[in-house]
Every structure is written in structure tokens, then in C-alpha cells.
Amino acid sequence: MSGFLSKEYITANPNFNRWLVPPAALAVHLSIGMAYGFSVFWKPLGNALVGEDGKPLAACAAGATTFADKLSGTATALFATDCNWTQFDLGWMYTLFFVLLGCSAAAWGGWLERAGPRKAGLVATLCWCGGLMISAYGVYTHQLWMMWLGSGVIGGIGLGLGYISPVSTLIKWFPDRRGMATGMAIMGFGGGAMIGSPIATKLMTYFATPSSVGVWETFVVLGAIYTVFMLFGSLAYRVPPVGWKPANWTPPAAKQNAMIATRHVHLKNAHKTPQFWLLWIVLCMNVSAGIGIIGAAAPMLQETFGGALIGQPGVGFDVVKQDAALAAAAASVGAGFVGLISIFNIFGRFAWATSSDKLGRKRTYYIFFVLGAMMYCTATYVAGFKSLALFVGSFCVIASMYGGGFATIPAYLADMFGTQFVGAIHGRLLTAWSTAGILGPVVVNYMHDTGIEAGVPFDQIYAPIFLTLAGLLVIGFIANLLVKPVADKYFMTDAELAHEHKLAHDKSIAANGNAANINAVSAKSGSTLVITTLAWALVLVPISYGVWSTVQKTWVLFN
């Protein structure tokens, strides 16, 4: 078994088609991407316990409205079995997802580079799907701490390893299209909720009974489905031999593009370079400026436009929220808006990352920061005269660049630090995502709540928030401006690189046959073409289902 999981065993032979690797990565990322969609469980879990009269039991006491009192209430809810959980209690699982994602990716990125993507992918499968099973038992026994431990902590570790497991591999298989390769995989992480959320909703409806809301059964089914998909992806991973390159492709000369390194920086030295921390700021600012507002997309639209969303332009949100029918209609439009920006977030990952292969990574991030700041300023202006089309269009562009930032950063790192440790370096850089996951929502929610307390009209609350987020993008622009090629002293010598290849059990072309014509050989194989087609169908079919489900919800915006 150790040989089957080893990096030597999965080093590709001359008959392997590199286009089999992206669907393997997508299968893993589409599975773990359901972390984005866990909010569909909050309402059902908040009503999991019912009394003899058939009505939900009261929520576990959370004290007053202060953060400390809420934490005190959550501590009680961790072990209580006679009260329902609040969204605040359950939301900590979502926070744990992304904190553990960044921490685990940083902690075990170096191990992943040496162990290989197959072993890392299988560990990710065990953690993510095993965490779902533990959470299922936690729901069944009504133990919140088991959900935090199962999906939040153990599942979060699976998220981190699953997220970075294909990055280094894809970049090495596609040195000619680094952005496109990572864009395809990371698009899957954004699309996981687009597929998983409607499936989870249907499963909960199917399993619901008078005594069960159907969540624990849904966790079990999803865990089984994701196990199959992640096993397929993990076992399909292959790594190229050292020295392999695509047929008829010549690496760009260093003098032609100084921003693309031809040597490699060791993991232990990457964080010592100013480039690492500048790119950390670049990612943190790009994510912070998007994640907070995307997380509040539905209420933002409803509060800004009020009755204008439902054909009553003279009615403000303060009136709409008092009327159940109007509030439901506005909420439906808000849900459509969330679906629309989700689509732009997902496909922006592929489109922007692919474009960066031609534009260059630094120039692509310049576009993110300049265009993003312009879009926030535009949203501030058009919200004043209630132009829904321009407002929605602005946030569709912002969402696309938010996703594009995630997909472009691995290729940016490969350009700066080489490919030998890019997966591990990417893992450490993801701590910027964990930081942004706190910073962005805190900025947005704090400014929103203080505006409400100050009596600011609903349709004017978000203007200063938008300008603040535009300011974060300006900081990111300055950091990106300061990125220069890495100094020679940080790169490994040829002897050091050879030693690392030995430690990582990397095979060379000489030891693995003639890999130079790998694509030509594969193209002649009819069976390989069939296998490749089936592999892509396995991931494109669920993606198509997710897009169709999202478009149906989004259509309300155009009606």
C-alpha cells in the first residue's frame, strides 16, 4: 500500500495524457467546495428539536446581545440536548472551516510536496468525508461540539490539504498555461456549493419526518458521494518526471520576462523574501474587499433598493421588512442576486486566471485593484439614483475578480519562486485568506451595525462601506506595485535542487522513459481519448447541473 501511495508510483509514463489531471483536481475541489454552501443547513438545524405540540423548541440561551454573552451561550449550547442551536452557534463551524484551511495548508504544505498529491488527496478525503460522518452523528445525538470537531476542525484540515493538493501538480503539468491550469481546479472549489447546496436541499426535503429535519441523513449521503468523487480524483493524480515539458514548447528566456523565475526558492527561504509578504498583502486585500460584501449580498441589495426590487420604487426597506409578503418577494430577488454573483465568482476564477497567462500576473492584479476600486465607487454613485442594472453589474465584476484573485495567486507564486515548492508556499500564503475571512466581514458588519444604530437610512448605509473597501484595494495596488523579481541569493543551487529531488522521490525523464513525447503518444491512443472524455464528463455533468439550478434562481432578477 505504501508503494501504491508513493510519489514514485504515480510518476507518469510516456502514455499518460496531462489533460486527465484537471478533472481529477476538479473532482476533489467540487467536493470540498461544499464548505461554502453549509449555510443551507443553518435554518433546519435551528429547528431540529420540536416539542409535543410540533413547534420548534426555544434556542439555547445566549444572554444579551454582547459578544461575550453570545460566547457564553454558545459554550452552553455545545453540550445541551434540550434546546435548539442559534445561527451564531452554527456559524462557528463556517469560521473553523477557513481558519483550519489556512493553518493546515501552511503546516503540511511541505509534507505534501514530498509525499505527493495522491497521499495528500486521500488524507483530505478521510478528513473531509469522515468529518461529515462525525457531524452526522453530532446532529443525530444533538451535540454541537461534535459538529465543530467533525466538519469544523477535522473537515477544515481536509479542506486545506484538498485545496492545495493539485496546485503544484497542475503547475508542473502546464508550465505553458499555469493560470489556466490552476483556474480550472480552483473554479471547482467555488462551484462546490453551487452543486452541493441544491442537492442538500432536496435530500433534506426527502429525509424530513415529523421527528427529523433530515440533516444527519443528508450528511451521510453527501459524505458517501464525496468519498467516491474524492477517491477518483486522488487516485487519478499523476506527477510529471523531472525535466518534462510539453511537446513543442520552449520556456521563456529569463531576459525576456524577468518576472518568471527559471530557478527555485526553497520553502524555508520563501517567507524570508519581501515578495512573499507583498503577495500575502495582495491576496489579503483582494479577498478582504470581496468576502465581506459577498457574504452580505442579499441583505445589501434589499436594504439599498427596498421596494424598487419589487416594482414599488417609492417604498423603503424599513416599510418592506414590516410586510411579510413584500419581505418575501424582496428576499427572492436577493437570493437571485446571490446566485448571479456566485456564477461570476466561479467562472471569473477560470477566465481571469487564463487571461493572466497572456497579461502576466502582476498586470492582472493591477486590473483587479484599479477596476475593483472603480466598481465600488460606481456602486456608491448608482445606489443613489437606484440603478439596479448598474449596481448588479458592478458587483458581478467585483465577484469575478474576487474569484480570479484566488485562481491567479498560485501561478503568481510559481512565477516568483519556481515550481519545486509552490504547493507548500501557496499553503503558507493561504493564511492571508484566513486573515481576510475575519477582516472583511468585521469591517462590513461593524460599519453596517454602527450605521443602523446611528439612524442612517438603509439605502445610505453601504456608501461608506464601499469606499472603505475601495481603500483596501488601493493598499493591495501599492503592494503589487512593489513586487519585483526575487533576489538571486534566495534561489537554490543545482546541487541543492538535486538533493531536494532525491528527498521528494522525484523521478527524472532519464529514469522514467522518454516523456518528451507524452502528448503525441497519448493523442494516438483511442482508449486514452475515451478515458479522458469520461473523466471530464464526470465533473462537467454536475457543474452543468449546478449552473442550471443557479440560473433558475437568478432568473427572478430579470422578471
pLDDT tens digits for range 303-362: 899 888 888 887 888 888 888 788 888 877 887 888 888 899 999 999 999 999 999 999
Higher pLDDT, 50 or 349: 349
Q: Binning pLDDT at 50, 70 and 90, where does residue 519 land?
A: very low
pLDDT at 439 > cutoff 70: yes
Task: Name residue, grid cell 489579503.
Answer: 284
Higher pLDDT, 490 or 92: 490
| pLDDT tens profile 172-190 | 999 999 999 999 889 999 8
Q: What angle do CA 554, 558, 559 make, to 5 degrees?
A: 105
CATH numeric code, 276-495: 1.20.1250.20
Distance of CA 258 to the CA centre of its chain: 30
pLDDT at 67 > cutoff 80: no
Return d(Cα 550, Cα 553) in angstroms, integer.
5
Higher pLDDT, 13 or 134: 134
Q: Which three cell numbers stand for residue 191?
A: 462551484
pLDDT at 498 > cutoff 80: yes
DSSP H helical segments within 116-154, as ranges? 117-141, 144-147
Position 510 scores a pLDDT of 58
Q: Binning pLDDT at 50, 70 and 90, where does residue 7 land?
A: confident
Higher pLDDT, 63 or 300: 300
pTM: 0.88
pLDDT at 518 > cutoff 80: no
Q: Binning pLDDT at 50, 70 and 90, where does residue 81 land?
A: confident
Q: Which three cell numbers stand for residue 17?
A: 495524457
| pLDDT tens profile 140-178 | 999 999 999 999 999 999 999 999 998 889 999 999 999
| pLDDT tens profile 233-275 | 999 999 999 888 888 888 776 556 678 888 999 999 999 999 9
| pLDDT tens profile 195-210 | 998 999 899 999 988 8
pLDDT at 522 > cutoff 60: no
CATH numeric code, 1-50+80-246+524-559: 1.20.1250.20
| pLDDT tens profile 365-419 | 999 999 999 999 999 999 888 888 899 999 999 999 999 999 999 999 999 999 9
DSSP H helical segments within 174-273, as ranges? 178-207, 215-236, 267-270
Packing angle, helices 361-384 and 388-417, rounded to 10: 160
Position 445 scores a pLDDT of 84
Please name which of 292, 290, 318, 287 lies closest in space to residue 305, comparing C-alpha atoms: 318
Position 107 scores a pLDDT of 92
Give percent above pLDDT 90 in the chain.
53
Q: What angle do CA 195, 226, 169 make, to 5 degrees?
A: 95
Distance of CA 361 to the CA centre of its chain: 19
Q: What mean pLDDT, rounded, does the chain reach?
A: 88
pLDDT at 2 > cutoff 70: no
Give percent above pLDDT 70 in the chain.
93
Return d(Cα 309, Cα 302) in angstroms, integer.
7
Q: Which three cell numbers stand for residue 318?
A: 424599513
pLDDT at 520 > cutoff 50: no
Position 33 scores a pLDDT of 92
Position 118 scores a pLDDT of 94
Contact 11, 239 (CB under 8 A): yes
Position 282 scores a pLDDT of 98
Higher pLDDT, 121 or 82: 121
Residue limits of CATH 1.20.1250.20 in the chain? 1-50+80-246+524-559, 276-495
Beta strands (DSSP E) in 76-193 are none
